[in-house]
């Protein structure tokens, strides 16, 4: 099944309550690699090993050697046309809730400030022992001040982590509940740049379809939901979303 930006625009304009779910593929055009595509993070590292609670607890120096460049990279990337189109469609009321697996803050920087971040976010640091929280700039300053590059809590001295949820860590209840509530309220879900292989997000399309809603999927690779969607687009997220916005603006 294939579709065009015009098909997507028609689906969105007919919707009563359209929501959008994004994954790493919405940020690759900003220069942030995804996990599973060629050149993605899994070719270089096993994130399940290095971005895990086990490594954070047992070898915080190794964890921070992997994690720190990812924080620093955010200074040199910017939202792309897909992030901007989503924010504009939310502003116009065409799209409602935005659920994202991304931790890169690019949706917020494009204007989608209320994104439901199911895997946490790189906007802060937190101490897992005493719950002390700091903004991301302070977390980076603490890492810079440490000889081993591991930021430590000013309140209790324990190693700090960022707000990104690690493999082996509980997902944030509030965000997960909000994501499920949005899926239950939706009659259309647009998925952009996610392989839909990672739980709990992999279960959200089923809620929408099970409730009689329709799916649109815009990713380069296949997903397990491809044969159950109404519109299937294989283009680049930025190009297709810019075109969809243009059609909705002129039509």
- Enumerate binding residues for ligand NAD (CB under 6 A): 23-25, 27-29, 32, 34-37, 40-41, 101-104, 119, 193-195, 197-198, 218-221, 236-237
Least distance to ligand NAD, CB of residue 223, Å: 6
Which CB atom, from 28 or from 159, has the smaller least distance to ligand NAD? 28
- DSSP tally for the chain: helices H, then strands E: 11, 9
Distance of CA 74 to the CA centre of its chain: 14
Is the peptide bond prior to 200 cis by the omega test (within 30 degrees of 0)? yes
Active site residue 119: yes
Choose between 21 and 153: whose C-beta lies nearer to ligand NAD: 21
Nearest distance from C-beta of residue 104 to ligand NAD, angstroms: 4
User: In the complex, what is the shortest distance from the CB of residue 155 to ligand NAD, in angstroms, rounded to a whole number?
Assistant: 28
d(CA 217, CA 233): 6
Residue carrying structure tokens 């190009």:
239
H or E stretch including 125? Answer: strand 120-127
Of 132 and 239, the one with the shorter C-beta distance to ligand NAD is 239
Which of the residues 96, 119, 132, 234 is marked catalytic?
A: 119
The answer to whether residues 216 and 59 touch, using CB atoms and an 8 Å cutoff, is: no
DSSP label at residue 43: H
Give me the residue whose beta carbon is nearest to ligand NAD: 25
Asked whether the beta carbons of 126 and 159 are under 8 A apart, the reply is no
Of 35 and 56, CB closest to ligand NAD: 35
Nearest distance, CB of residue 35 and ligand NAD, angstroms: 4
Alpha-carbon gap, residue 10 to 244, rounded angstroms = 9
Q: Which residues are catalytic?
A: 119
């Amino acid at each position: 099944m294939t579709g065009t930006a015009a098909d997507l625009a028609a689906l969105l304009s007919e919707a009563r309550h359209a929501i959008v779910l994004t994954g790493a593929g919405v940020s690759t055009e900003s220069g942030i690699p995804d996990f599973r595509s060629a050149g993605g993070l899994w070719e270089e590292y096993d994130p399940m090993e290095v971005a895990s609670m086990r490594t954070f607890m047992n070898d915080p120096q190794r964890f921070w050697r992997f994690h720190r460049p990812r924080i620093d990279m955010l200074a040199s990337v910017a939202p792309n046309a897909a992030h901007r189109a989503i924010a504009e469609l939310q502003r116009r009321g065409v799209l409602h809730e935005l659920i994202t697996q991304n931790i890169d803050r690019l949706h917020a920087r494009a204007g989608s400030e209320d994104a439901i971040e199911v895997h946490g976010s790189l906007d802060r640091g937190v101490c897992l022992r005493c719950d002390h929280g700091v903004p991301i700039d302070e977390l980076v300053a603490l890492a810079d001040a440490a000889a081993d590059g591991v930021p430590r809590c000013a309140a209790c001295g324990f190693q700090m982590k960022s707000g990104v949820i690690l493999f082996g860590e509980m997902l944030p209840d509030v965000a997960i509940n909000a994501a499920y509530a949005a899926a239950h309220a939706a009659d259309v879900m647009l998925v952009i740049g996610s392989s839909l292989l990672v739980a709990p997000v992999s279960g959200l399309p089923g809620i929408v379809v099970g409730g009689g809603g329709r799916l649109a999927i815009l990713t380069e690779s296949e997903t397990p939901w491809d044969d159950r969607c109404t519109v299937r687009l294989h283009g680049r997220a930025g190009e297709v979303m810019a075109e969809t916005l243009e059609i909705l603006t002129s039509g």
